[in-house]
Amino acid sequence: MTTQCPKCKAANPDTQSFCGDCGTQLGTPKDIPVHTKTIETPVEEYLRGSTFADRYEIIEKLGIGGMGAVYRVEDTNIGQDIALKLIKSDIASDKKTIERFRNELKTTRMISHRNVCRMFDLAETEGTFYITMEYVSGEDLKSFIRRSGKLDIPKAISIAKEVCEGLAEAHRLGVVHRDLKSSNIMIDKEGNARIMDFGIARSLRAKGVTGEGIIIGTPEYMSPEQAEAKEVDWRSDLYSLGVILYEMVTGRLPFEGDTSLAVAMKHKSKPPKSPKGYNPQISDDLNRVILKCLEKEKGRRFQNAGELFDALDKMEEPRTKTVRISDWKTSIAVLPFKNMSADPEQEYFCEGLSEELINDLTQIKDLRVVARTSAFSFKDKEIDIREIGHKLNADTVLEGSVRKAGNRLRITAQLINIDDGYHLWSERFDRELADVFAIQDEISLAITDRMKLKLLGKKKARMIKRSTENFEAYNLYLKGLHFRRKMTKDNIQKAIEYFNKAIEIDLENALAFAGLAYSYMALTMYAPVTHKESYPEAKKAAMRALELDEQLAEAHESLAVVKAYLEWDWEGAKKETQRIIELNPGYAWGYFHLATILLYQANFNDSFREFQSALELDPLNVAFHRNLGIAHFRARQLKKAVEILHRTIEMDPSFPYTYLYLGYIHMLKNRHEEALAAMQNETLLPKAMLEPQIGIVYARMGRKEVARKILNKYSELSRKEFISPYCLAELCFALDNNDLGFQWLEKGHEEHDPWMGYLKIDFLLDSVREDPRFKILLKKMNLE
C-alpha cells in the first residue's frame, strides 16, 4: 500500500510518516515520539476569485505544508501579490502555539535579506489564524533537483552560498529556522535562492514561550539534536544545509528509511556515506565541507554560516563579472529597410543599413533592441506594424526604405509607437552615397532623443564610431555579411572573398577581420574542410580585429568561437563571451556562445539560462531555438527537447541538424526506423556528415554490414578530403570497434575537429566512458 503526498503527489509506503521527496507530513504519524506535534485537521478550501478576510483575493493554491494550506493572493489594499498561509485549526486552538508564533514573527519579520522570503504578519479572521508573507515566483529546490537528477557542482555551491548569506542574517537576529530543507528553498525567476517558511522558526531570545520537548522539523533534514528533541541553535541549520548540499550534488539524501523514526535515528547515530562515492565529480574539498556540516557533535561542525560561506567561496571558480540583461526602460525593433531601387541586388545594402542601426542602438544601456534575426523574420510579409511590434515584444518599431541610383541615396525612416500606431519621428535623407555613415548617426541619435534616453559622452562616441570610413570597403563588408549568414559551403566561401576584398581596400577594417574569422570557423561546421587550414586563418583574423579595436564585440565573438570550437580553451572562451556581454549587453550572440560553452562542460542549467537570455533579445532566432532543444537533449530531458525541436521545424522546416537530433531521440528510445526516417529529412547537411550518423542507426538495429560499408566508404574518402574523425569514431563505437574508434578520436584531436567539443556529453560514447583512453582524452580536451 502507498500514500500519496498531498504536496508533491509522490507515492510513499504507508508505513512512512513523512514524504520521502519533499518531507511533508503524511496523515497521522505512526511512530514519532509522543511529544511531536501532530497535524490532522484540514482547513477550508478557497476557490480562485474568492475573497478571504475581506481583503485577499485568491489567485491560486500553492500547496499544503505542515501548518496548513498556502495560497497566492492579491492584497487588494495595496494591489500586490503575496503568499497567505492558513494555520490548521488544531494548531491554532493551542494558545501557547499561537503566542509562540506571534513572538517569533516579531523577530522574523525583521529579517530583510535578498535570500530570505519576507514574513509580514500573523492575523485572525472569524476564528481562522493566518500568516502573510512575500510571494516568490519560481521553483522549489527539491523540484529543481528532482528534475535535474543532480546539480552541477558550481551551481550547487552558488545556491549553498546564497542560503548561507540568508541564514547569517537570520542568525544575527537570533532566529533559527529549524525546518530548513530543499522544498523550503525557492529558486526565483532570476536564479536566486530564497529561504522560505521562517514562520515556524523559534527565536533564541524568546525561550519563555518555546514548548519543551517539541520536535519541529522534517526527519530527512533533522540534526541529531533535533531528533532527540534537545535544545538547538544555529548549528542545527548548518547541519540541515549540509543535508541539502549533499542532496544537490548527489541527487539523494544521506539517510533514508521506511519510517520517520528510522531516519531520525540514523541522523543521531549512523555516519553518512561519503558524497564523493555517489558523484566522483565532487572535489575532495567539497566532500570534506559537506561531511563537516554533517558532524553528529555540533561543536565539530562549522560554527556559523560565515565560516561555511568562506569554505564554499574558496572552492567556487572565479568568474568575470557579466553584465546581465536588465529591466529595460523601453524597446525597439528595427525592420529591414525596403529596397526601392531598380536593382534587386541592392537587398544586401538595405539589410546592412538596418543591421548597422541595430548595432548602433544596442550600445544604449536602457534600450532593449530586438536582434536582427527576429526583426528580419517579417521581411516581405504583409503584416500590420503593430502586430509585428506585439510579436517581438517591442514598444516601438523603426522602418524605412532605400532608393539607390548611381551615386545618390534617398533614405526614409520613421519611428512608430506600437500602442497607438502614431509616428514619433520621421525623416527623409537625400544624400551622396558616401554620406551613408552620417545618415546612420543622425537616425540613431534622433531615436535616442525621441525616446528620451540618456546617452553619455563615451557611449555616444562609441555608437558613432565606424570600423571604416571608406564606402567601398563598407559596401563589400555588407556583401560578406549577407553571404556569411547563408550557412552553406559556397556562400561562406563567397563571404570570405568579400571580406578579403574589403580588407584589401582598408587594412584597418576591424569588422571585416571579425567577419572573416567567423567565416573560417563556420566552414569547419558547415562544410567538409581541413581544420588545420581554416583554424590558423580564423585565429589570425580574430587577433587582428582585436588589435584594431579591442572594444568591438564582434571581434571578441570571433576570438571566442576560435578558442571554444577549435582550441577547446573553454575558460578563455568564456572570458571572451563575458567581455562581449560587458561591451554590448544587447548582443544576443554573446549569450548564445556562452550557453554553448557551458553545454560542452555539462553545466546544463546554466546553459539553459544563457540560451533564454539570447532568446529574450532574439525570440524568433531559429538557431537559438534549435540549440536550446539540443541542450535539453544532451541533458537527457527528451520530452522538452522534442517540444523545442518541433517548434524549430515549424519556424523553418529545413533548418540543418534539427531532424538529426530528433533522430538521436528516437535512437535513445530504440525506435530505429523512426530515427532513420527523421535523419533522412536532413536535406542541407553534406552526405559526409549525415551518412556516418545513419550508419550508427543501422549498427544499433543489428544491420552491421550496412554500417561497416558506410564506415569503409568514408574512411577511404578521408584520404582525399576532410571527413570528421569524430563522426567516424562514433560509428566505430557503434560497431564495437573501440580501438579504431579511439584512433579516430586521436585524429580528431590532432586536426582540431570542432565536433570533439561534444566528448563529455555525447550519448554515443557512453559505452567507452570508463576506458582509460577516454579519460585521457577528456583531460586533453580540458573537459575533466
Q: What is the CATH number of the domain that holds 456?
A: 3.40.50.10610
Shared-domain flag, residues 184 and 300: yes
Angle of helix 153-172 relative to helix 305-315, nearest 10 degrees, comes to 160
The contacts of residue 433 (CB under 8 Å, 6+ apart) are 404, 407, 408, 409, 471
Check: CB of residue 349 under 8 Å from CB of residue 293: no
Give the integer Cα–Cα distance in Å for 242 and 292: 8
Shared-domain flag, residues 339 and 444: yes
> Tell me, what's the pLDDT at 44?
60
Shared-domain flag, residues 276 and 404: no
Q: Is residue 542, in this structure, part of any structural domain at all?
A: no
> Tell me, what's the pLDDT at 586?
82
For the chain, give the percent of residues with pLDDT over 90: 38
The contacts of residue 758 (CB under 8 Å, 6+ apart) are 600, 634, 726
Q: Which of 465, 481, 500 is the last residue of a domain?
A: 465
> Tell me, what's the pLDDT at 699?
97
- Least confident span in 473-487, 583-597, 627-641, 759-773: 473-487
Q: Is residue 33, in this structure, part of any structural domain at all?
A: no
Query: Residue 717 pLDDT more than 70?
Result: yes
Shared-domain flag, residues 146 and 268: yes
Strand 185-188 versus strand 193-195 pairing type: antiparallel
Q: Is residue 572, in this structure, part of any structural domain at all?
A: no
Q: Is residue 296, in this structure, part of any structural domain at all?
A: yes
> Tell me, what's the pLDDT at 259?
81
Q: Is residue 658, in this structure, part of any structural domain at all?
A: no
Number of domain units in the chain? 3
Give the integer Cα–Cα distance in Å for 726 and 755: 6
Shared-domain flag, residues 166 and 296: yes
Shared-domain flag, residues 335 and 300: no
Distances (CA, A) of 343 to 253, 336, 402: 69, 17, 11
pTM to 2 decimals?
A: 0.55
Distances (CA, A) of 295 to 242, 300, 514: 9, 6, 55
Shared-domain flag, residues 461 and 383: yes
Q: Which of 425, 448, 465 is the last residue of a domain?
A: 465
Shared-domain flag, residues 307 and 377: no
**pLDDT confidence band for 204 (50 / 70 / 90):** very low
10-27 pLDDT tens trace: 655 454 455 555 555 565
Q: Is residue 83, in this structure, part of any structural domain at all?
A: no
> Tell me, what's the pLDDT at 341?
78
Q: Which of 315, 341, 356 is the last residue of a domain?
A: 315
Query: Residue 326 pLDDT more than 70?
Result: no
Shared-domain flag, residues 308 and 231: yes
**pLDDT confidence band for 455 (50 / 70 / 90):** very low
Find the CATH number of the domain harbouring 147: 1.10.510.10
> Tell me, what's the pLDDT at 402?
87
Shared-domain flag, residues 285 and 429: no
Torsion of CA 179, 180, 181, 182, to 10 degrees: 140
Q: Can you tell me the mean pLDDT for 359-383?
A: 81
Give the integer Cα–Cα distance in Å for 602 and 706: 33
Q: Is residue 536, in this structure, part of any structural domain at all?
A: no
Q: Can you tell me the mean pLDDT for 264-275?
A: 91
Domain span at 303: 138-315
Shared-domain flag, residues 270 and 396: no
> Tell me, what's the pLDDT at 465?
52
> Tell me, what's the pLDDT at 323?
39
Give the integer Cα–Cα distance in Å for 524 and 530: 7
Highest mean predicted confidence (pLDDT) among 132-136, 217-221, 694-698: 694-698
Q: Which long-range CB contacts under 8 A does 120-125 form with residues at least 24 apart?
A: 120/82, 122/98, 123/53, 125/52, 125/53, 125/54
Query: Residue 438 pLDDT more than 80?
Result: no
Q: Is residue 85, in this structure, part of any structural domain at all?
A: no
Shared-domain flag, residues 305 and 184: yes
